[in-house]
């Protein structure tokens, strides 16, 4: 049974990113005619014809600001796709979006101070949710772990965050 929750980018943060992203650049919306890339606002794939934007996002920096942490050199930023306008967020049907058997992900663990405590490569088994549950159980078995960032192996892209239950 899944006890963890994939966290989308918060609506207040999305509002900021739709104006100016975490690299200080203006948001440039466009129509995606092909679709398929992962949306971090609603944790599903882009549908052909949707109006989206590719923005720079610094997930650890934003978490650190609310948690009074100081990630120092562990702070990083990278590209994420979001809807260009406000959306309804995740539908909630998939506890671990963007997963399928054989997909490779890195689960990067962070301390309350925002420092990396380690990482784990995960290749999803046929029972993807159960495999993810086990990997998160392992990550959160360390009491120092405050959150886990899930990233795609191919591009290193931030997929979503999971916090301690």
pLDDT single digits (tens) 50-107: 999 999 999 999 999 999 999 999 999 999 999 999 999 998 767 788 888 888 999 9
Cα within 13 Å of Cα(28), Cβ side = 5
Residue 119 within a domain: yes
pLDDT level of residue 1 (50, 70, 90 thresholds): low
Residue 1 within a domain: no
79 and 15 share one domain: yes
Residue 2 within a domain: no
β 145-152/158-163 pair status:
antiparallel
* Phi/psi at 104 (5° precision): -110, 130
pLDDT single digits (tens) 19-39: 999 999 999 999 999 999 999
15 and 69 share one domain: yes
Domain residues for 57?
11-83
DSSP 9: P
pLDDT at position 98 is 87
22 and 73 share one domain: yes
Please tell me the distance from the alpha carbon of residue 25 to that of residue 21, in angstroms, as a whole number: 5
Residue 92 within a domain: no
111 and 140 share one domain: yes
pLDDT beyond 80 at 130: yes
75 and 20 share one domain: yes
β 104-111/145-152 pair status:
antiparallel
pTM: predicted TM-score of the whole model, two decimal places: 0.91
75 and 128 share one domain: no
Residue 94 within a domain: no
15 and 79 share one domain: yes
Please tell me the distance from the alpha carbon of residue 125 to that of residue 130, in angstroms, as a whole number: 8
Instruction: State the total domains in the chain.
Output: 2
């Amino acid at each position: 049974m899944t006890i963890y929750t994939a966290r989308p980018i918060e609506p207040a943060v999305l509002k900021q990113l739709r104006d100016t992203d975490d690299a200080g650049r203006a948001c440039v919306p466009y129509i995606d005619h092909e679709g398929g890339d992962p949306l971090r606002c609603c944790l599903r794939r882009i549908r052909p014809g949707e109006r989206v934007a590719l923005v720079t996002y610094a997930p650890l920096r934003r978490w650190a600001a609310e948690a009074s942490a100081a990630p120092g050199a562990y702070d990083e930023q990278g590209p994420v796709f979001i809807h260009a306008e406000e959306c309804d967020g995740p539908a909630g049907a998939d506890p671990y979006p963007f997963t399928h058997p054989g997909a490779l992900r890195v689960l990067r663990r962070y301390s309350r101070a925002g420092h990396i405590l380690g990482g784990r490569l995960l290749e999803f088994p046929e029972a993807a949710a159960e495999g993810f549950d086990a990997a998160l159980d392992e990550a959160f078995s360390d009491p120092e772990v405050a959150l886990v960032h899930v990233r795609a192996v191919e591009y290193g892209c931030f997929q979503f965050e999971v916090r301690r239950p």
